[in-house]
Amino acid sequence: MGSSKKLLLLLPLIIFLFAAPAFSQLDDEERVDYFQMEPLDDSLFIKIQTEILIDPPDPKAEIIVDLRDPNNQTVSIKGTLYPFLAFTPETRARIATYPFKLNLEEQVNYTTIFTQVFDKVKFSKILEPPTLFQISSTLQYINPFMQFFGGERFGISIKKDIGISFGVGTPYSGPLETNFVEANFHILGLKAGFFTKVDAITELKQTNNHNNLYATGGIHLSYVFPLGNFLELGFLNVTEQPGEKLLAKYRQFDTGEYKAYILDDIYFNWEFRYPLRFLGSTRAKFYIAQFVDELHFGFTGRELSIAGNVFDLRFDAMTTKKHRQPQYVLDVLVQQIFESWAFSSLAIGPSAILSKTETGGFGFTSIFLNIRFKVGASL
């Protein structure tokens, strides 16, 4: 069995390891008075913050509730204390009976998993219907998450279904893999834009550049069919052909077996996706796509929640061999590391590509620190 097939077989295990703790929400019969609220109910988290005039509210905020002392009951939101009585009776009741609590009084050790975690299991909040923006063919481009390398495009609405977006790398690329940069205009599900090159991105990496994707310049056009945000069809046209000097620069890392992919044609692109909410995520989808004659399938999710931890997860498998060696991209970006405004606005973590290395073995061809910003509130 080849290395790529082994990695594909391991993918369900990777997802299970990330999801397993979320299956372990316990139905403790005894009252819990000191707990952290897992960010799995956006409407309640927004309501809590709206009542104390936090603007904008953050559906993934860290909320810790302390009801142990009847004379001094508090709610901590991002480290700021508020009296429990500051909330309406309805909200106080929903906080006290919130089903997804992390018991902060409980003593946890290495044997806890065997004695408590699998006693009672809840499977709710693992998979949920998508949000309105996720299933809208004309609003799906609106995306407050801006990532350094690859991933979904950062999208800004000018007026509802009219807006702009841009991104570094392709939607499916990993760190330092391509010089591709794009900017787009959106209207009623139609996307029209241009792409260009920023060679400084790929020049940051000095080894394993044999499997890179290089662009020069051109235009692209696509349309999301108005049957929910499930199918997007389009094309990409390279209008700026690379000259001999540029070709020599991009080909300098080629070997007899491995060659970089230089875009120089018209390409038909498509993506079939299934938007959903996974592990309480604010934006997620499974997809299969063809982009510049390469087949991709994978998953991308923003602000997934496990045991009070919030993170982004992306996995992309490019399995075709027509132009490049198959490769696998993995991003794990952790939120709530920094303080103040960056607590919920900034996520940071490793981004890596696994493929055949320039020596012929299977391993990391690129690994770099990736950063994601959230501009405004989650949608």
Residues 213, 170 contacting (CB under 8 angstroms): yes
Task: Report the Cα–Cα distance between both ends of the chain, in Å, rounded.
Answer: 42
The residue whose two tokens read 């392709």 is 170
How many CB atoms are located within 10 Å of the residue 231 CB? 15
How many CB atoms are located within 10 Å of the residue 161 CB? 18
Largest CA distance in the chain: 78
Residues 25, 99 contacting (CB under 8 angstroms): yes
Rounded distance between C-alpha atoms, residue 329 and residue 139, angstroms: 27
Q: Token pair of 285, please?
A: 């989808």
Rounded distance between C-alpha atoms, residue 105 and residue 110, angstroms: 16
Rounded distance between C-alpha atoms, residue 165 and residue 179, angstroms: 18
Residue 273: which of 204, 172, 368, 191 has the closest Cα? 172
Residue 321: which of 356, 287, 286 has the closest Cα? 356
96-114: per-residue pLDDT in tens? Answer: 999 888 888 765 554 554 4
Phi and psi at 85, nearest 5°, equal: -75, -5
Residue 6: which of 367, 362, 364, 322 has the closest Cα? 362
> Pairing relation of β-strands 217-224 and 63-66?
unpaired
User: 3-class DSSP state for residue 201?
Assistant: helix
DSSP code at position 160? T
User: Residue type for 352, please?
Assistant: A
User: What strand order describes the sheet that includes 34-37?
Assistant: 80-83, 74-77, 63-66, 34-37, 101-103
Phi and psi at 169, nearest 5°, equal: 85, 175
Q: What is the model's pTM? A: 0.76
C-alpha dihedral sign at 128, 132, 134, 136: positive
Rounded distance between C-alpha atoms, residue 148 and residue 175, angstroms: 8
pLDDT beneath 70, residues of the chain: 1-30, 106-125, 377-379
Q: What pLDDT sits at residue 74?
A: 93
Q: What pLDDT sits at residue 126?
A: 72
18: buried, middle or exposed (CB in 10 Å: 19+, 13-18, 0-12)?
A: middle
Rounded distance between C-alpha atoms, residue 175 and residue 301, angstroms: 17
The kind and range of the H/E element at 185 are strand 180-187
Q: What pLDDT sits at residue 75?
A: 94
Rounded distance between C-alpha atoms, residue 185 and residue 165, angstroms: 7
State how far the alpha carbon of 210 is from the alpha carbons of 201, 262, 270, 294, in Å: 15, 11, 26, 16
